[in-house]
Amino acid sequence: MNLRTFLRPAGGVLALAMATTTITAAHADEIVIATTGGQMRNTMEEYFYTPFAEETGIEVIPFDIEVPDQWARAEGMARTGNMEFDIVTATGPDLVDKADILLTIPCDEMANVKEYALPGACQPKGLARTTGGMVLTYNTDLFGDNPPTTWADFWDVEAYPGPRGLPDTGDRDWWLPVVALLADGVPKADLFPLDLDRAYAKLDEIKPHIDVWWKTGNQVQQILRDDEVALAMAYSGRALKVVQEGRPFAMAWDGAIRDTGYFAVMKDAPDLDGALKFLNFFYGKADGHPGFIRTVGYATSSTIGLSQLPEDEQKLYATYPANYEQLVDPDFAWIGAHRDELRERWNSWLLQ
């Protein structure tokens, strides 16, 4: 799922207020969890923080903060040796970038994680919280009889005519090269390291057919809703809302890019034990998941989570088994090492 969009409504005011009030000192019976504010914080509180406190007596102090700010602060705290966060929110690339200040998660010692975690949910430095995908979303009124199923179909403007939308936000500097290579016939397993020359040659083909380069999650939801586009790459959580509003859209999961938000634990966390207890609780708290998943629009990686929803509804989420196995698993180590090159290339190409 996309943090930037998620975070935006959180705002700095709340974060500031929280900073002055809650970060006094985390005692043994409380843990501080930094996430984006607004819906994510509220939903986590309702379905997980409160039940966790009731069961274990460990209070969760939510700390609303945008992810880049969170890292700036966490790094400052790590330097001064005065760590106040226990659990933080991380993207895939963050787990590589910030590895030296994060705890290696002992998944093997966490009963519920061992029991219920989906494959790939436990990374060395993080544990999956919510998973979505950058997914091909298409209009079923137009293509109901012969639906597009792959990115090659997105590129096929003859068979699937109509206005198209692609993101110009978030991690598009590798998302789009990835889908271009898929459209050009590269198998998912051989994507990385990305052949950027080949990818951009393929992107040149589709560029004239892109009507909207969307900038925010709200915008992609709106261009789908208003029939501004017939096909688009969208955040799956946004596409999901459009589908649930009854609009004629569907998602094609083959080659969707996995987009996972992780929990990470600070190496110097004041209450390591409490933090790990919470993660274990999150994976095992069966009755919290359905409400949480439905509210945030992204699925958790616990097998006892999504499976509680009706089968038809499950199919709209990235972690539904048939969808999950078709996702692209990004190589964050490679992406992290080539960040500047990817950005430069993308910007030069798009704005020309």
Q: What is the contact surface with another protein in residues (CB under 8 A)?
A: 68, 163, 168, 211-213, 215, 226-228, 343-344, 347-348, 350-352
Q: Min. distance of Cβ 343 from another protein in angstroms? A: 7
Between 97 and 168, CB nearer to another protein:
168
Peptide bond connecting 310 to the previous residue in cis, omega within 30 degrees of 0: no
DSSP 148: -
Phi, psi of 225, deg, nearest 5 = -60, -40
Q: Min. distance of Cβ 339 from another protein in angstroms? A: 10
What is the per-residue DSSP string for 35-67?
E-STHHHHHHIIIIIHHHHHHH-PEEEEEE--H
Between 185 and 208, CB nearer to another protein:
208
Between 267 and 343, CB nearer to another protein:
343
Between 177 and 305, CB nearer to another protein:
177
Q: Min. distance of Cβ 224 from another protein in angstroms? A: 12
Q: Min. distance of Cβ 18 from another protein in angstroms? A: 22
Q: One-letter amino acid identity for 153?
A: D
Q: Min. distance of Cβ 131 from another protein in angstroms? A: 24
Q: Which residue has the tokens 């050009």?
A: 184
Between 120 and 248, CB nearer to another protein:
248
What is the end-to-end Cα distance of the chain in Å, rounded? 29
Phi, psi of 131, deg, nearest 5 = -125, 135
Question: How many angstroms separate the CA atoms of 256 and 258, rounded?
Answer: 6
Q: Min. distance of Cβ 213 from another protein in angstroms? A: 6
What is the per-residue DSSP string for 262-287?
EEEEBTT-TTHHHHHHHHHHHHH-GG
Between 227 and 329, CB nearer to another protein:
227
Strand 30-35 with 59-64, pairing: parallel
